[in-house]
């Protein structure tokens, strides 16, 4: 956590602008999320992005020491081709297929080579990003865990990113679907899990928690794709977008994700690793559908973008299915 006092030179500006100036290398999506998660406070109280600061105010930004270092120290941008799959692109947005093991942006470990950096290098190559112009930095509208693969959408312009942020917050005109392999045979062909979730800010773990005790409503719908003996391949729809929602929801009904080191079945994970070599959770954000849209997102209107399952996950299924047949 960093605490900053507002001087006469900084008074009169919006809280969002103040934070952006203080953390010049932080992706705009990260800053928007910080305000949504109430990680920015003024005089001990949560404020919205458009709150006007006054001289003498004390601003607290809840970031790790490593994030503070990374977001205040620029990384040189280079003109490079994008090294991963691009699922969709127009002049306003870029949708990419993130591999497992890649961070969206830096974390407390100090990792600097991230998906976000690769996007900036690519857009610099195309002439769609100027690292010398600090007024806007293309940023993701959401994020995926390091070990979750799949689709992530970036706003190339300020107008597009703001519209995307609202889209993910309201969730009326976006449909996100994942492929997940879980432990056990889920007998119903379709169903839903409606359990409120709460994140522990110290441990980073998420758990089912009643709303009256601080939990936030969360709903996951699912359809069974195929059953493999003691495993079930599901298509999961995120109706809400809580942290680790799919992983915690399925663990809570006794069907944790295969390979999940945080919420999974450790004996199952060891067995699967020995059979397939898979070390991460089996979760892939394979589809992103959009309703009628206008403005900067007009070209995405009524489109569905998809990304194939990574070869490593497809191979793991083949090995597990073969083992079930023997």
Residue 165 has pLDDT above 70, yes or no: yes
Give the residue with greater pLDDT, 106 vs 247: 247
The pLDDT tens digits for 121-142 are: 999 999 998 887 766 788 899 8
Residue 80 inside a domain? The answer is: no
Which of the pair, 159 or 153, is modelled with greater confidence?
Answer: 153
Same domain, 200 and 268: yes
**Taking Cα atoms as reference points, which of 43, 25, 86, 45 lies closest to residue 35?**
45
pLDDT value of residue 310: 92
Q: Look up the domain containing 213 and give its range.
A: 171-325
Q: Shortest CA distance to 80 belongs to which of 113, 107, 110?
A: 113
Q: What is the CATH number of the domain that holds 214?
A: 3.30.2350.10
Final residue in a domain of this structure, among 115, 139, 169: 169
Question: 20 or 115, which is more confident?
Answer: 115
Mean model confidence pLDDT for the chain: 89
* Residue 20 pLDDT exceeds 90: no
Q: What is the pTM of this model?
A: 0.77
In this prediction, residues 81-87 reach a mean pLDDT of 97
Q: Is residue 27 domain-resident?
A: yes
Rounded Cα–Cα distance for residues 301 and 278 (Å): 37
Mean pLDDT along residues 100-104: 89
Q: Which of 39, 70, 121, 145 is catalytic?
A: 145
Identify whether residues 39 and 154 lie together within a single domain: no
Q: 301 and 241 share a domain?
A: yes
Lowest-confidence pick of 7-16, 227-236, 251-260:
7-16
Judge if 164 and 177 occupy the same domain: no
Q: b/e map of 152-188 (b: 16 or more CB within 10 Å)?
A: bbbbbeeebbbbbbebbeeeebbebbbbbbbbbebee
Give tens-digit pLDDT for 281-294: 999 999 999 999 99
Give yes or no: 145 in active site. yes
pLDDT of residue 135: 65
Q: pLDDT tens, 49-78?
A: 889 999 899 999 988 877 787 777 666 789
User: What pLDDT score does 326 carry?
Assistant: 46
CA distance 137 to 300: 21
* Whether residue 18 is found in the same domain as residue 146: no
Say whether both 62 and 16 belong to one domain.
Answer: yes
Whether residue 190 sits in one domain with residue 153: no
**Whose structure tokens read 């010049």?**
24
Q: Could you give the number of structural domains in the chain?
A: 3
């Amino acid at each position: 956590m960093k605490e900053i006092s507002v001087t006469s030179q900084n008074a009169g500006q919006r809280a969002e602008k103040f934070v952006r100036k203080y953390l010049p290398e932080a992706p705009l999506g990260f800053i928007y999320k910080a305000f949504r998660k109430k990680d920015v406070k003024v005089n001990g109280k949560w404020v919205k992005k458009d709150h006007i600061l006054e001289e003498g105010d004390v601003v607290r930004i809840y970031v790790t020491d490593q994030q503070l270092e990374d977001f205040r120290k620029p990384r040189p941008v280079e003109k490079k081709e994008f090294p991963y799959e691009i699922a969709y692109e127009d002049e306003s947005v870029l949708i990419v297929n993130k591999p497992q093991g890649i961070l969206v942006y830096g974390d407390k470990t100090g990792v600097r080579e991230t998906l976000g950096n690769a996007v900036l290098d690519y857009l610099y190559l195309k002439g769609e990003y100027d690292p010398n112009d600090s007024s806007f930095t293309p940023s993701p509208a959401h994020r995926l865990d390091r070990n979750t693969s799949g689709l992530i959408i970036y706003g190339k312009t300020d107008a597009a990113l703001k519209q995307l942020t609202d889209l993910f917050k309201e969730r009326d005109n976006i449909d996100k679907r994942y492929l997940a392999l879980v432990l056990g045979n889920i007998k119903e062909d379709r169903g839903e899990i409606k359990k409120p979730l709460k994140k522990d800010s110290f441990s980073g773990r998420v758990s089912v928690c009643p709303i009256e005790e601080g939990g936030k409503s969360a709903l996951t719908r699912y359809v069974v794709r195929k059953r493999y003996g003691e495993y079930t391949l599901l298509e999961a729809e995120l109706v809400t977008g809580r942290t680790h929602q799919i992983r915690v929801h399925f663990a809570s009904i006794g069907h944790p994700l295969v390979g999940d080191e945080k919420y999974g079945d450790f004996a199952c994970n060891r067995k699967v690793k020995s059979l397939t070599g898979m070390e991460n959770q089996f979760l892939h954000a394979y589809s992103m559908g959009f309703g009628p849209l206008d403005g900067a997102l007009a070209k995405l209107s009524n489109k569905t973008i998809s990304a194939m399952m990574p070869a490593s996950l497809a191979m793991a299924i083949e090995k597990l299915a073969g083992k079930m047949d023997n």
